[in-house]
């Protein structure tokens, strides 16, 4: 505005809840990925109408109606983000959740992995606990060789003041999900360690932005 320019469009701000309060990780003039997978399913309104109003610079007096809660868990390939394992068949996609495809392709009647971040699995519910249970129930049914995913997504959403305290037993996940772990629950070699950073900032395809021990960046999304 100071330069005589106006901004019309989408402004996405990535936040992380910490013990010191919310922190800004990044901002972009686009929808966030995988933030959008947890946000838009809760919108009780016409997205096209809102985008059109924004394009015409007329959002005054408008409110965004939201309902429910959502938790999105990203399923990634082994080796991501440096050298992901690809070409593996995905099974179990018929689940009670929203499944957003990323690094996938069709091969006849089958789905095959083609990249590092493979799927975003979003559970919906009236509460975050319900949404989290549905998200992880779906993730456990979806299978492909080398799958990995964080198991602490949304564990602290009801107690944001505890976020980041990996050593507190109160931060353990629900339904038997241990906090801050990566990978297939059935594979010990994929287990994470306490204190892994919950998200990484930047280009997911850039190796310098990789998380610890192959931890897929930017995965925890709740609203």
Tell me if 92 sits within 8 A of 143, measured CB to CB.
yes
How far apart (Å, rounded) are the C-alpha atoms in residues 175 and 53? 43
Tell me what the pLDDT averaged over the chain comes to. Answer: 78
Please state which of the ranges 28-37, 58-67, 109-118, 203-212 shows the lowest mean pLDDT. 203-212
pLDDT at position 19, please? 87
- What does the pLDDT average to over 108-132? 97
Q: Distance between CA atoms of 177 and 71, rounded to whole angstroms?
A: 14
One-character DSSP codes across 51-108: HHHHHTT--TT----B-SEEEEEEEEETTTTTS---S-EEB----SSEEEESSEEEET
Neighbour tally for 2: CB within 10 Å? 4
Tell me the per-residue pLDDT of 44-64, one tens digit each, with 9 for 90 and over. 999 999 999 999 989 888 888
- Tell me: pLDDT of 30 over 70: yes
State how far Cα 93 lies from the chain centre: 17
pLDDT of residue 173: 35
Mean pLDDT of 54-82: 94
The pLDDT of residue 120 is above 60: yes
User: CB atoms < 10 A from the CB of 140, how many?
Assistant: 16
The three-point CA angle 14-159-123 to 5° equals: 65
* pLDDT bracket for residue 211 (50, 70, 90): very low
Across residues 169-181, what is the average pLDDT? 35
pLDDT given for residue 86 in this prediction = 98
Domains of the chain: 69-222 (3.90.600.10)
The total of other beta-carbon atoms located within 10 Å of residue 34's CB is 23
Q: What is the mean pLDDT of residues 93-97?
A: 96
Q: Span 117-134, mean pLDDT?
A: 97
- Spatial separation of the C-alpha atoms in residues 186 and 130, rounded to whole Å: 23
Is the pLDDT higher at 94 or at 191? 94
Among 2-11, 32-41, 111-120, the least confident range: 2-11
Is the whole model's pTM more than 0.75, yes or no? no
């Amino acid at each position: 505005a100071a330069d005589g320019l106006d901004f019309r469009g989408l402004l996405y701000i990535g936040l992380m809840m910490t013990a010191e309060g919310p922190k800004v990780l990044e901002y972009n003039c686009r929808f966030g990925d995988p933030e959008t997978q947890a946000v838009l399913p809760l919108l009780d309104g016409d997205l096209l109408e809102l985008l059109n109003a924004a394009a015409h610079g007329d959002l005054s007096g408008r409110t965004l109606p939201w309902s429910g809660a959502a938790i999105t868990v990203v399923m990634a390939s082994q080796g991501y983000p440096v050298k992901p394992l690809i070409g593996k068949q995905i099974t179990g996609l018929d689940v009670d959740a929203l499944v957003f495809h990323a690094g996938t392709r069709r091969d006849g009647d089958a789905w095959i992995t083609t990249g590092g971040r493979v799927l975003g699995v979003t559970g919906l519910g009236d509460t975050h606990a319900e949404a989290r249970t549905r998200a992880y129930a779906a993730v456990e049914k979806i299978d492909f060789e080398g799958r990995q995913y964080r198991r602490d997504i949304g564990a602290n959403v009801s107690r944001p003041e505890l976020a980041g305290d990996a050593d507190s037993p109160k931060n353990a996940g629900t339904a038997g999900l241990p906090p801050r772990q990566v990978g297939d629950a059935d594979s010990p070699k994929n287990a994470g360690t306490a204190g892994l950073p919950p998200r990484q900032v930047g280009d997911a395809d850039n190796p310098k932005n990789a998380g610890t021990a192959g931890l897929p960046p930017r995965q925890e999304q709740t609203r």
